[in-house]
Amino acid sequence: MTATPTSAPETVATGDAAPEVREVIIIGSGPAGYTAAVYAARAGLRPLLFEGSVTAGGALMNTTEVENFPGFRDGIMGPDLMEAMRAQAERFGTEFVTDDVVSVALDGPVKSVTDGDGTTYAARAVILAMGSAYRELGLPDEKRLSGHGVSWCATCDGFFFRDQDIAVVGGGDSAVEEATFLTKFARSVTIIHRRDELRASKIMAARAHSNDKIRFAWNSQVTAIHGDAKLSGVTLTDTTTGQQRELAVTGLFVAIGHDPRNELVNGVIALDAGGYVLVDGRSTRTNVAGVFACGDLVDHTYRQAITAAGSGCAAALDAEHYLTALADAGH
């Protein structure tokens, strides 16, 4: 069932302008946001989706081959998957805004969202799908050398490290995937991991161990980054003995996980201790009526493209049910 549309565009005063009140606004792209848009659009909810001002499509835009998304026997490149999802959402009538959301007002029956240009949009329901951001090491000079040897995206920057000795920090699937991809360009890739074995899946770990270009620095943590204009090396500290040693590398790719992008709603929506948005049971309902959350913004357990897409579907269905209830109540 779909909420009954108004006979004429409804507006709500927000200062000088009175924007049309839409049914659904979706903040964030990626598998969760795009899937929510597909379902919301097919339900006739006229969704407006904010993709962001830099790169639409979320973390998968920085992913090489996605081998575990159902329906693609031979795998698919992350950007290609996101492009296909976006096109599908657009086909059913989703409208897109290529800008960042800078503020939200989520109380009351009508929510408002303001973008970087200062334009305010209004809707009865909001779906939060902001995803997650790369986690940093938190070391001095890390940000200063970002783009000058320090990176969080192998597919973006790997080409610039042809025939160089580089390193990847992390031990999960993302780190191993980055390292494997980087062997196409680099002379050698050292995986720096704080434990004595990889956390990656067996198939990914086997690929790393069988790759002649990949080396391992076990029980090691990067505790210092060196370089003037460009990265020249890192200090490794043994996590068991505390001994330090230097590793000369001209590239350092950080793949130690992600943190939820909750800046927009921190203090507005209930979060757990890890900063993830809290939802009601297995639903996508937040503690604010008419606000729903999905994808990596709520998932600190599975964190897969397919589970993000599934939760995006759930968010759209939950929003549809909410809007139907509003319409039935005469609001």
* % of the chain with per-residue pLDDT over 70: 91
Which CATH number characterizes residue 277's domain? 3.50.50.60
> CA-CA distance, 323 to 216, in Å (whole number)?
53
| pLDDT, mean over the chain | 91
- Kindly tell me if the per-residue pLDDT of 64 is higher than 70: no
Q: Identify the residue with better confidence: 57 or 56.
A: 56
The one-character DSSP state at 299 is -
- 288 lies in the same domain as 212: no
Residue 157 belongs to a domain: yes
> CA-CA distance, 291 to 276, in Å (whole number)?
15
- 303 lies in the same domain as 241: no
Tally of domains in the chain? 2
Q: Does residue 142 contact residue 225 with C-beta atoms inside 8 Å?
A: yes
pLDDT value for 240: 98
Tokens of 326: 């509003």
Residue 90 belongs to a domain: yes
Confidence category of residue 68, pLDDT binned at 50, 70, 90: confident
Residues marked as catalytic: 153, 156-157
Structural domain range at position 171:
150-254
Specify which of 65-69, 133-137, 204-208, 298-302 reaches the highest per-range mean pLDDT: 204-208
Residue 6 belongs to a domain: no
- 163 lies in the same domain as 299: no
- Kindly tell me if the per-residue pLDDT of 9 is higher than 70: no
Tokens of 146: 């970002």
Residue 111 belongs to a domain: yes
- 37 lies in the same domain as 118: yes
Residue 11 belongs to a domain: no
Residue 165: is it exposed, middle or buried by C-beta count within 10 angstroms (0-12/13-18/19+)?
A: middle
- Kindly tell me if the per-residue pLDDT of 8 is higher than 50: no
Residue 122 belongs to a domain: yes
For residue 215, the one-letter residue type is R
Q: φ, ψ for residue 48 (rounded to 5)?
A: -115, 125
The pTM of this model reads: 0.80
- 222 lies in the same domain as 202: yes
SS3 201: coil
pLDDT value for 65: 75
Tokens of 219: 């029980």
- 50 lies in the same domain as 184: no
> CA-CA distance, 14 to 7, in Å (whole number)?
22
* Mean pLDDT of all residues in 106-113: 96
- Kindly tell me if the per-residue pLDDT of 4 is higher than 50: no
- 230 lies in the same domain as 294: no
Residues contacting residue 275 through CB under 8 Å, at least 6 positions apart: 259, 260, 262, 266
Of 216, 232, 254, which one is at a domain's C-terminal end? 254
Per the listing, tokens 């009140």 go with 21
Of 254, 278, 303, which one is at a domain's C-terminal end? 254
Residue 272 belongs to a domain: yes
225-235 confidence digits (pLDDT tens): 999 999 999 99
- 231 lies in the same domain as 93: no
The one-character DSSP state at 155 is H
pLDDT value for 304: 86
SS3 305: helix
pLDDT value for 156: 79
Of 254, 285, 306, which one is at a domain's C-terminal end? 254
- 250 lies in the same domain as 262: no
32-41 confidence digits (pLDDT tens): 999 999 999 9
List own/partner pairs for 224-228 with CB under 8 A and 24 or more apart: 224/139, 224/140, 225/137, 225/139, 225/140, 225/141, 225/142, 225/145, 225/150, 225/252, 226/141, 227/141, 227/145, 227/148, 227/149
- Kindly tell me if the per-residue pLDDT of 12 is higher than 70: no
- 273 lies in the same domain as 249: no
- Kindly tell me if the per-residue pLDDT of 123 is higher than 90: yes
- 267 lies in the same domain as 248: no
138-186 confidence digits (pLDDT tens): 999 999 999 899 999 887 789 999 999 999 999 999 999 999 999 999 9
- 62 lies in the same domain as 35: yes
Residue 12 belongs to a domain: no
